Structure 1
Amino acid sequence: MYLIWPDRYKEQEEMEERFRQYFEKNVSILTRNGSSFTLREYRKQMDKNGIEKFLKEPDETVPCVCSYS
């Protein structure tokens, strides 16, 4: 989403941050290593390391809440 629709990603990032502030909870859409991993943290990591690196990562290493059955 960040690569294709950066404006939508930003909207989701801002929505997540508003939710966290409103409820005063360390929650996020994503998780990594069993902990909260915010969209802002993920974007900063992609910006720092280059988004291309993340496009080639195995699915199981990408923080995500998606599941397919």
Structure 2
Amino acid sequence: MAYRDSFYQYLMTQRDPDSTDEVAQFANNAQHDQTFPKQEQNYEKLSDYLELNASYLPSMSVFDRAYEMYQEKMSY
């Protein structure tokens, strides 16, 4: 199986401190989350973590959108 970046690795490519885009803001905030599961690729495990620990995430729909973007990027 081909190597795939973790979701966190992908998310870090979306950082932009000047952007008002929700995914960029999510990435900016996740960068400072010391306990973020940085090696994780699994949607359910990431979702569980974020629901319990990511007070900086205004809505899980932001994560859903970011995860969709991640899956599209990793599919080729």
Alignment TM-score, normalising by the size of structure 2: 0.30
As a proportion of its length, which structure holds more strand? 1
Q: Which has the higher contact order (CA 8 A, sep 6+)?
A: 2
Alignment TM-score, normalising by the size of structure 1: 0.32
